[in-house]
């Protein structure tokens, strides 16, 4: 499909999904008291990043960057499916522990963990290689519509019912991801493709690279509502985080182009690096989408996003775009020792600084600055420690 037509189709699906998703977000704010609404917002954000983490893992472990033949790309995908299967028991246990800190009902922990593992498999990798449009946004649209209908039927909204209605969003992508993983795992076994990503000296290297953003962006909310400071500050940060999460409707399409090789070919025509083009697209589309969300949220919920809340979002977006562009194209070329250095030192510095800020009654703005700055620091470390980036498309 032509890139322009692909953008129109994808943007249409994402726009519909964004409108319905923001309606869900606003309905939760209207039906629940602020303390319970904040808890559900954090659940939505944390679950979204758990799924995004696993999808990033799939992308990084397959490493479909630069100029590669179609057969090489397909072989890497089925190899990545085997690696994903080996990761799942560990990921399931970690997600149960993480969501247990969210003050959720105990029965929700295993349900959320299963949904995250199923929806986290990137079923669109193969579609990118065979030059088909991504199917994921349509699955999210279907899930959001079902969730909205369920919320509308709740006359007296209880916290448990709202949580179940929110989890329904991820059922369609979860069913699709699980079924596609099963197919590609069978292909790997029938063709005797070995999971090369899990045979490297650092077996969890793609997971370390993919998880840093989730650690930085979710840690302030471990412990549930109000764990990140005062009630007002926690709500401000929750809004900024939600604006950030809603600024990414086209991010998967940009990654889809990178997986298919379109982005590499476009960067050659524009005479810029694929890394720079990737970062520019992330930043520009994120800013545009955030403005649409702010207008829609104000119209539906009758609450306005303040300048401070939007400023915190900008700090988060700048750090995220810088980190993702460098992690996508440089991190997998680092040695095992340097990957371990970055992904141990940066999270430790972040956690220590966060505890110090909390001890002194940190404001929401200080926490957001720490989050964006930590992501930028990780990007800078990746760039400085990459002596000679591997030619894009070189097999690791």
pLDDT, one tens digit per residue, over 335-362 is: 777 888 888 888 889 988 888 887 777 7
pTM above 0.85, yes or no: no
What average pLDDT does this structure show over 301-326? 86
Higher local confidence (pLDDT), 1 or 180: 180
Q: How many alpha carbons lie under 13 Å from residue 169 in its C-beta half-sphere? A: 27
Structural domain harbouring 61: 3-385
Structure confidence at residue 133 as a pLDDT band (50, 70, 90): confident
Higher local confidence (pLDDT), 395 or 107: 107
| Per-residue model confidence (pLDDT) at position 203 | 52
Q: Has residue 390 been placed in a domain?
A: no
Taking the C-alpha atoms of residue 296 and residue 346, their distance in angstroms, rounded to an integer, is: 36
The answer to whether 84 and 111 have CB atoms below 8 angstroms apart is no
Q: Has residue 168 been placed in a domain?
A: yes
Structure confidence at residue 304 as a pLDDT band (50, 70, 90): confident
Higher local confidence (pLDDT), 37 or 84: 84
Taking the C-alpha atoms of residue 196 and residue 61, their distance in angstroms, rounded to an integer, is: 9
Q: Has residue 391 been placed in a domain?
A: no
| Per-residue model confidence (pLDDT) at position 107 | 83
pLDDT at 13 over 60: yes
Q: Has residue 133 been placed in a domain?
A: yes
Q: Has residue 267 been placed in a domain?
A: yes
**Above pLDDT 90, what percent of the chain?**
12
| Per-residue model confidence (pLDDT) at position 388 | 53
pLDDT at 225 over 70: no
Listed ranges 105-109, 220-224, 313-317; the one with the highest mean pLDDT: 313-317
Q: Has residue 192 been placed in a domain?
A: yes
pLDDT at 224 over 60: no
| Per-residue model confidence (pLDDT) at position 394 | 41
Higher local confidence (pLDDT), 377 or 191: 377
The phi and psi torsions of 193 (rounded to 5 degrees) equal -90, 125
Sorted by sequence, the CB contacts under 8 Å of residue 26 that are 6+ apart come out as 297, 300, 301
Tokens for 262? 């379109």
Taking the C-alpha atoms of residue 90 and residue 87, their distance in angstroms, rounded to an integer, is: 6
Structure confidence at residue 229 as a pLDDT band (50, 70, 90): very low
Return the residue matching tokens 């649209």.
141
| Per-residue model confidence (pLDDT) at position 131 | 79
Largest Cα–Cα separation, the chain: 60
Distances (CA, A) of 267 to 147, 258, 274: 39, 10, 5
Q: Has residue 325 been placed in a domain?
A: yes
Sign of the alpha-carbon torsion through 110, 114, 119, 120? positive
Using a 10 angstrom Cβ sphere, with 0-12 exposed, 13-18 middle and 19 or more buried, the burial of residue 89 is exposed
Taking the C-alpha atoms of residue 154 and residue 212, their distance in angstroms, rounded to an integer, is: 37
Return the residue matching tokens 């072989």.
75
The answer to whether 18 and 292 have CB atoms below 8 angstroms apart is yes
Q: Has residue 394 been placed in a domain?
A: no
What average pLDDT does this structure show over 45-53? 83
Residue length of the chain = 396
Tokens for 94? 């970690």
In the chain, the number of structural domains is 1
Structure confidence at residue 199 as a pLDDT band (50, 70, 90): very low
pLDDT at 33 over 80: no
| Per-residue model confidence (pLDDT) at position 322 | 92
Higher local confidence (pLDDT), 46 or 345: 345
């Amino acid at each position: 499909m032509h890139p322009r037509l692909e953008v129109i189709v994808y943007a249409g699906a994402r726009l519909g999904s964004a409108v319905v998703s923001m309606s869900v977000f606003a309905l939760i704010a209207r039906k629940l008291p602020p303390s319970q609404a904040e808890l559900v917002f954090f659940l939505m954000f944390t679950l979204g990043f758990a799924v995004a983490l696993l999808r990033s893992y799939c992308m990084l472990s397959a490493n479909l960057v630069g100029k590669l033949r179609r057969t090489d790309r397909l072989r890497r995908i089925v190899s990545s499916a085997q690696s994903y299967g080996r990761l799942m028991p560990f990921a399931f246990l970690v997600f149960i522990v993480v969501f247990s800190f969210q003050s959720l009902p105990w029965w929700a922990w295993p349900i959320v963990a299963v949904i995250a593992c199923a929806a986290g498999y990137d079923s669109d990798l193969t579609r990118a290689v065979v030059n088909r449009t991504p199917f994921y946004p349509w699955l999210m649209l279907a899930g959001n519509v079902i969730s909205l209908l369920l919320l509308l039927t709740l006359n007296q909204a209880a916290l448990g019912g709202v949580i179940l209605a929110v989890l329904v969003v991820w059922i369609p992508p979860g069913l699709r991801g699980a079924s596609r993983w099963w197919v590609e795992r069978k292909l790997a076994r029938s063709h005797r493709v070995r999971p090369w990503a899990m045979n490297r000296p650092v077996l969890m290297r793609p997971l370390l690279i993919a998880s840093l953003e989730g650690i930085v962006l979710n840690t302030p909310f471990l412990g549930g509502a109000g764990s990140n400071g005062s009630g007002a500050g926690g709500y401000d940060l929750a809004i900024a985080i939600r604006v950030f999460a809603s600024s990414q409707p086209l991010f998967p399409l940009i990654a889809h182009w990178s997986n298919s090789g379109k982005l590499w070919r476009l960067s050659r025509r524009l005479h810029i690096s694929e890394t720079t083009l990737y970062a520019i697209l992330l930043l520009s589309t994120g800013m545009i989408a955030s403005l649409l969300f702010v207008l829609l949220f104000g119209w539906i919920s009758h609450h306005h996003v303040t300048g401070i809340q939007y400023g915190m979002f900008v700090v988060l977006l700048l750090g995220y775009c810088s980190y993702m562009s460098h992690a996508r194209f440089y991190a997998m070329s680092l040695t095992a020792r340097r990957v371990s250095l970055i992904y141990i030192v940066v999270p430790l510095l972040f956690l220590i600084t966060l505890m110090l800020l909390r001890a002194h009654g940190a404001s929401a703005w200080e926490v957001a600055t720490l989050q964006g700055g930590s992501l930028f620091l990780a990007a800078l470390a990746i760039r400085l420690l990459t002596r000679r980036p591997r030619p894009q498309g070189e097999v690791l």
